[in-house]
């Protein structure tokens, strides 16, 4: 994806999602495909993947109050909602990302720092 080979990236991500045996791999592939869809301007598909990644992450929490995977899924959803012009939804997503990430990663983790910055806007 970073090399601009979006079709190849999509094919790989689709295969990973279809064949994944772990929550972690499924969640990461869904988040990545959401980001790919976002880059390609496919906002509805990006939102669907981000919401699915969030649901997978929340289900995997197993009753724990916070999860780094959930925080990262909230981040992607917030980015999608920002692109869709849904400011209130994006703000909610970024605040949820901060809440999850601040309880599961180091204070200087790049995703947490980005979430904190975006939650202020």
Give all domains of the chain, ordered by start, each with its CATH number: 6-120 (1.25.40.10)
* Cβ-based neighbour number of residue 98 at 10 Å: 23
Note the pLDDT of residue 75.
Answer: 98
Answer yes or no: are the C-beta atoms of 95 and 78 closer than 8 Å: no
Answer yes or no: are the C-beta atoms of 34 and 1 closer than 8 Å: no
Taking the C-alpha atoms of 116, 78, 26 and 68 in order, what is their torsion angle to the nearest 10 degrees? 20
CB proximity list for 111: less than 8 A, separation 6 or greater: 71, 72, 75, 97, 101, 105
The pTM (predicted TM-score) of the whole model is: 0.94
**Average pLDDT rounded to a whole number, residues 29-34:** 98
Q: pLDDT per residue over 66-96, tens digit each?
A: 999 999 999 999 999 999 999 999 999 999 9
Q: Among 42-46, 62-66, 78-82, which stretch is predicted with the lowest mean pLDDT?
A: 62-66
Long-range contacts of 30-34 (CB under 8 A, 24+ apart): 30/56, 30/73, 31/72, 31/73, 31/76, 32/1, 34/76, 34/77, 34/80
Place 3 in a pLDDT band, splitting at 50, 70 and 90.
confident
The mean pLDDT of the chain is: 96
């Amino acid at each position: 994806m970073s090399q601009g080979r979006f079709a190849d990236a999509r094919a790989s991500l689709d295969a990973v999602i279809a064949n994944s045996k772990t929550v972690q791999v499924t969640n990461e592939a869904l988040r990545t495909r959401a980001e790919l869809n976002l880059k390609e301007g496919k906002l509805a598909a990006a939102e669907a993947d981000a919401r699915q990644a969030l649901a997978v992450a929340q289900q995997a929490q197993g009753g724990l109050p916070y999860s780094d995977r959930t925080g990262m899924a909230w981040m992607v959803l917030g980015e999608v909602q920002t692109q869709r012009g849904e400011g209130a939804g994006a703000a909610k997503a970024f605040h949820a990302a901060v809440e999850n990430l601040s309880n599961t990663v180091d204070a200087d983790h790049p995703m947490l720092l980005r979430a904190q910055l975006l939650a202020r806007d």
